[in-house]
Amino acid sequence: MNNLRNSVKLIGRLGVDPEMREFKEGRKMAKFTIATNENYRNKSGEWVTNTTWHRVVAWGGSASLCEGRLLKGVEIALEGKLVNNDYTDKNGEKHYNTQVELQSFVVLKDNKENQTPKN
């Protein structure tokens, strides 16, 4: 049960191509967002779609896998954990954000019409 304490599983589409960074020591990081949709009928019987955006960060080997396989529009299933961050801006205002730290993913559907070959 310990592995369920901070576990996130999402299925969604990438909103952007992963933003890749490589640090001096060679460690890689990938950042991207995915959109998940929830569909339901409201009181009037009309279908409503709520879209939620999730920030995702991947490190090391997971980031390397993202670089070659993920593009905007691709549908993935991912597993990870929630990470909360905070920072103070130059005006002294405190900001908070929550992101998913990627542990694994599976590509469910390619978005072939939006893909351009990587050279």
CA nearest neighbour of 62 among 44, 76, 41, 49: 76
| Burial class of residue 8 in the structure, from the number of CB atoms within 10 Å of its CB (0-12 exposed, 13-18 middle, 19+ buried) | middle
Residues in the chain: 119
Query: Which pLDDT does position 2 carry in this prediction?
Result: 66
pTM greater than 0.85: no
Q: Name residues of the chain where pLDDT drops below 50.
A: 117, 119
Rounded-to-integer distance, Cα 1 and Cα 74, Å: 31
Query: Which pLDDT does position 119 carry in this prediction?
Result: 44
Query: Which pLDDT does position 5 carry in this prediction?
Result: 85
Query: Which pLDDT does position 26 carry in this prediction?
Result: 87
